[in-house]
Structure 1
């Protein structure tokens, strides 16, 4: 039978978790492999320092190291993205974690504008090829959507500036960003005579 919260049947959940546990006990190396892939402070620091070192050499004229620079940049992006993913997961249990890292922050408590525009829900960003693409759920009454970005302290309102306006919200490609630089982004709906409230902001490193 289903539990009182309307979730999966207890029998199915117990069977699935039992199978997972059995497989992990049979082959403990699986967990070790997972731990090896997981990011940590030392890995991120090493990748960051290597990126800086190679970047400075390329700026100094070592053009033959551009391939190494791209690899170093991609490693920083990979480590940062893994950490961001872990923060998102742990943030569901402890919301203070992403807030303490400045990765997600609710701008105010207002959820709708005078014209009735709501906050774009499910705001998210992803890497697609060499670009960052933003998406969110459509807002009733919206004529367009604005994305603003911040390159410094996202808690300082004056740090934000307009970056893109789109009539669609299912795919907004963000261009003109500096590779390897960390940005903060937020989105809002715009109506005929009013703009809606801002979404949470999200951090993302340009590639």
Structure 2
């Protein structure tokens, strides 16, 4: 008995741990109720989105006393979105269409090296800094600039993509010209003296 499975965890250990978990849950059913209460639904996400957007525009209009409220609303919305994305990835193991419909499936990149030897910019990510979306990635040897491309439709269709901005640096690229409340997809590539490198995987971000 005790043959290793699932990454080395023994059956006996899994059975024992699950038994302990069930015992605790049976003793106190409110534990599961508390967990379910934290899970976001459409109504909660919409409410968090509205609070964040309203606070953002109030601060943008000069109501600096609302900055604390804006930060709290931003953190609440980020938490809810992270929970939804995490659950979508988990359910995607059983139904791959769920993360696809939410735009969470990353683009499959076949070519990872350009003719001039330019690599894909690594660790591509985007985040809000104040009122702006800022993109960052790892520098690529031989790159002279970096292009950010944006998509408002199907990110798996090449025709949906368009060039958004070019930057001489990759550690901070500010994104402008977006429509609040719209979901966008972004990708980045390095540009050399004679050609451009392959695109990164895309990431999604909602403009506020």
- TM above 0.5, yes or no, is yes
* 2:165 alignment counterpart: 162
May I ask how many residue pairs the two structures share in their alignment? 194
Partner-residue secondary structure (3-state), 1:186: strand
* 2:153 alignment counterpart: 153
* 2:66 alignment counterpart: 66
Tell me, yes or no, if the aligned pair for 1:77 and 1:205 is still in contact at 8 Å.
Answer: no
Tell me, yes or no, if the aligned pair for 2:147 and 2:190 is still in contact at 8 Å.
Answer: no
Over residues 174-194 of structure 1, what are the superposed CA-to-partner deviations in whole Å (9 max), with x where a residue is unaligned?
54568x765433244566755
* 2:29 alignment counterpart: 28
**Whole-angstrom CA distance in 2 between matches of 1:49 and 1:79:** 13
* 1:84 alignment counterpart: 85
Partner-residue secondary structure (3-state), 1:77: helix
**Whole-angstrom CA distance in 1 between matches of 2:137 and 2:129:** 16
Partner-residue secondary structure (3-state), 1:184: strand
Over residues 8-50 of structure 1, what are the superposed CA-to-partner deviations in whole Å (9 max), with x where a residue is unaligned?
1323333333333333233222221111111110111222334
Over residues 110-134 of structure 1, what are the superposed CA-to-partner deviations in whole Å (9 max), with x where a residue is unaligned?
455445666567x564769868675
Q: Within 5 A, what are the aligned runs for 1:6-45? A: 7-10=7-10, 11-45=12-46
- Please point out which of 1, 4, 7 is paired with 1:2: 4
**Whole-angstrom CA distance in 1 between matches of 2:142 and 2:168:** 10
Unaligned runs of 5+ in 2: none
Unaligned runs of 5+ in 1: none
Partner-residue secondary structure (3-state), 2:164: strand
TM-score (norm 1): 0.64
Over residues 131-159 of structure 1, what are the superposed CA-to-partner deviations in whole Å (9 max), with x where a residue is unaligned?
867567x98xx44584625373363112x
Tell me: CA distance 1:17–1:112, structure 2 relative to 1, closer, same or farther (3 Å).
Answer: farther
Q: Which moved more, 1:74-83 or 1:183-192?
A: 183-192
Tell me, yes or no, if the aligned pair for 1:147 and 1:185 is still in contact at 8 Å.
Answer: no
Q: Which moved more, 1:112-121 or 1:42-51?
A: 112-121
* 1:184 alignment counterpart: 185
